[in-house]
């Protein structure tokens, strides 16, 4: 029952009380000196019926809270607090029932001259109405808390689903890297027993080295490209000879190479820590335009060019 309906009910009850006795037949206190009629007791029963409906609604909310606690362990503290409030309502309800029984007993003993007792009963009725208002407000608060619990539960489910997908993706990547690692270990064992280097599947042999090219259409920044190579037991390609540079450009006409001056501007170092001695820079490079600290093979000339390390390019690993 909404607060608007409660207010209308209260107004109707107050009008009934004020009009049930003609003004010209009231006592000097405004009431006739007579026993309460059936309509007054009926109104009291109606109020008690409203109380019972509220109690039933409170019971339903308690059940709903219990279900939410089972679904959301993280909300145990808040649910416990709500349970205590519901228990307090039960105790208050018993008090109201006892008050109601006492009030009914008083009604049975009223006589025609008990105007004062009748006024006291009316006052208690008003008190009951106040209690109803308080319980209506508490029901509203409990409903709001339940809604918040459901929202938080839904958010937790969404987050859990996202984390599960991320974990599954990481597991797939781990299996791929682990398989590549195991294969590389087998190849290294074979290489240790042969004079000719044996390359893993999907790796390209050249000049007794093995090269891995990123899949067509897949690009990464310089750091992520190097991480991929390291996970494969290799590193970004270091074309130190013209022959090796020509070989690399036949795979990709534009790709990252393992060269940067990120640590010290102007001092270009290979990924193995060695300093660049002879380079194949295209004319005017490196120019450090916009803080370009990573090297690529340029598509236009087939020579080196410095670019932003955040750029997305294909990559080639060298073992």
What residues contact 21, with CB distance under 8 A and at least 6 apart? 31, 32
- How far apart, in Å, are the Cα atoms of 219 and each of 237, 250, 313, 315? 15, 18, 5, 7
Q: CB burial class (10 A; 0-12, 13-18, 19+) of residue 189?
A: exposed
Q: Which pLDDT does position 192 carry in this prediction?
A: 53
Q: Which pLDDT does position 316 carry in this prediction?
A: 98
Say what the pTM is.
0.43
Conformation bin of residue 84: beta by default, left when phi > 0, alpha when psi is -120 to 50 = alpha
Below-50 pLDDT ranges, the chain: 2-3, 5-6, 9-10, 12-21, 23-29, 31-34
CB 280 within 8 A of CB 291: no
Q: Which pLDDT does position 160 carry in this prediction?
A: 80
Q: Which pLDDT does position 40 carry in this prediction?
A: 75
Q: Which two tokens stand for residue 210?
A: 């093995």
In angstroms, the CA 106 to CA 302 distance is 106
Q: Which pLDDT does position 99 carry in this prediction?
A: 85
CATH class of domain segment(s) 203-318: alpha beta
In angstroms, the CA 9 to CA 31 distance is 22
Q: Provide the edge-to-edge strand list for the sheet that holds 294-297.
A: 269-270, 255-260, 294-297, 304-307
Which own/partner pairs from 304-308 qualify as long-range (CB within 8 Å, at least 24 positions apart)?
304/257, 304/259, 304/279, 304/280, 305/281, 306/261
Q: CB burial class (10 A; 0-12, 13-18, 19+) of residue 165?
A: exposed
In angstroms, the CA 295 to CA 304 distance is 6
Mutual orientation of helices 115-192 and 222-231 as an angle, nearest 10°?
60
Cβ atoms within 10 Å, residue 3: 12
Return phi, psi of residue 239, to 5°: -75, 95
Torsion over CA: 113, 117, 121, 123 (sign): positive
């Amino acid at each position: 029952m909404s607060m608007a309906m409660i207010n209308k009910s209260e107004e109707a009850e107050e009008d009934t009380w004020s009009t049930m006795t003609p003004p010209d037949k009231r006592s000097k206190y405004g009431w006739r000196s007579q026993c309460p009629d059936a309509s007054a007791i009926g109104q009291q029963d109606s109020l008690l019926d409203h109380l019972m409906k509220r109690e039933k609604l409170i019971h339903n909310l308690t059940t709903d809270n219990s279900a939410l606690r089972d679904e959301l362990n993280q909300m145990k503290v808040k649910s416990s607090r709500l349970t205590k409030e519901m228990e307090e309502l039960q105790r208050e309800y018993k008090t109201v029932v006892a008050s109601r029984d006492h009030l009914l007993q008083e009604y049975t003993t009223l006589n025609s001259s008990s105007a004062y007792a009748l006024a006291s009963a009316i006052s208690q009725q008003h008190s009951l109405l106040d209690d109803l208002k308080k319980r209506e407000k508490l029901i509203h608060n409990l409903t709001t808390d339940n809604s918040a619990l459901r929202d938080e539960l839904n958010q937790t489910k969404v987050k859990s689903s996202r984390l599960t997908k991320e974990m599954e993706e990481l597991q797939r990547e781990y299996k791929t890297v682990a398989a590549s690692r195991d294969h590389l270990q087998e190849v290294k064992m074979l290489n240790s027993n042969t004079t000719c280097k044996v390359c893993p599947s999907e790796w390209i042999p050249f000049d007794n080295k093995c090269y891995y090219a990123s899949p067509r259409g897949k690009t990464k920044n310089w750091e992520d490209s190097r991480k991929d190579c390291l996970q494969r037991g290799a590193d970004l390609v270091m074309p130190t000879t013209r022959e090796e540079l020509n070989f690399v450009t036949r795979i990709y006409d534009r790709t990252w190479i393992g060269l940067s001056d990120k640590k010290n501007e102007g001092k270009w170092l290979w990924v193995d820590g060695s300093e660049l001695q002879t380079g194949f820079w295209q004319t005017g490079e490196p120019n450090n335009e916009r803080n370009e600290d990573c090297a690529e093979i340029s598509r236009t000339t087939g020579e080196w060019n410095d670019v932003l390390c955040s750029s997305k390019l294909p990559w080639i690993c060298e073992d």
